[in-house]
Amino acid sequence: MGKLTDILSAGDGGNIHDLWNSTTAADDFAPLPAGKYVCRLKSGELGTSRSGKPEFTLQFEVLEGDHTGRKVWHSLYLTQAALPMAKRDLGKLGIKSLEQLESPIPKGIRCAVQVARRKSDDGSEHNRVRSFEVLGIDPPEVDPFAPGDTPPNDMPGNAAEAEEAGPAPDSF
């Protein structure tokens, strides 16, 4: 483990002491207010609940409004008692077999998510997804650095432009 001064001197930590002293700590996130949110399904993950039950957890990210970027989770328990509800919700996403739970969730699924706010016996509050409906599939985000599908003749610097410019230099 390195020393703080070594770590800070390697980066842009010149004013870190002043920043530390003048920065107010962020508040903890409170649960989302109850209501309906437009969200994107970010992931689905197999796991085990705290009580040891098998589950598949969906993670939604709020896309609009004051709570944009916040996340809410929906646990679907894979037990005999809960399987009818799990199959209902997974079916909305096109998941019809258990084997599909081992594959990544398709990207871009936009949903309307009904969120409730619950209070535990200890007084703490948390969110619970009451229901969701699929609104559609968003087109994938374009990576500006990804190789394109554009044929070379349609790209800047294509062969026609090169002919007009004359011979290419031998080296850079």
Instruction: For residues 107-115, give the mean pLDDT.
Output: 97
Q: Taking a C-beta distance cutoff of 8 angstroms, is the pair 129, 35 a contact? A: no
Domain housing 63: 35-137
Q: What pLDDT is recorded for position 108?
A: 95
Distance separating alpha carbons of residues 98 and 94, to the nearest angstrom: 12
Asked if residue 150 is part of any domain, the answer here is: no
Is 66 part of a structural domain of the chain? Answer: yes
Asked if residue 110 belongs to a domain, the reply is yes
Domain count, the chain: 1
In a domain, 158, yes or no: no
- Give me the chain's average pLDDT, please: 85
Write the CATH number for 122: 2.40.50.140
Domain assignment present for 15: no
The DSSP line for 56-109 is EEEEEEE-SSTTTT-EEEEEEE-STTTHHHHHHHHHHTT--SGGGGGSPPPTTE
Locate 49 and state its tokens.
Answer: 């609940």
Tell me what the mean pLDDT of segment 39-61 comes to.
96
pLDDT at residue 141 is higher than 50: yes
- Between 147 and 88, name the one with better pLDDT: 88
Phi-psi region of 157 (alpha: psi -120 to 50; beta: other; left: phi over 0): left
- The answer to whether position 72 is within a domain reads yes
Greater confidence, 50 or 142?
Answer: 50
Determine, yes or no, domain membership for 30.
no
Question: Which pLDDT belongs to residue 48?
Answer: 96
Q: Classify residue 43: in a domain, yes or no.
A: yes
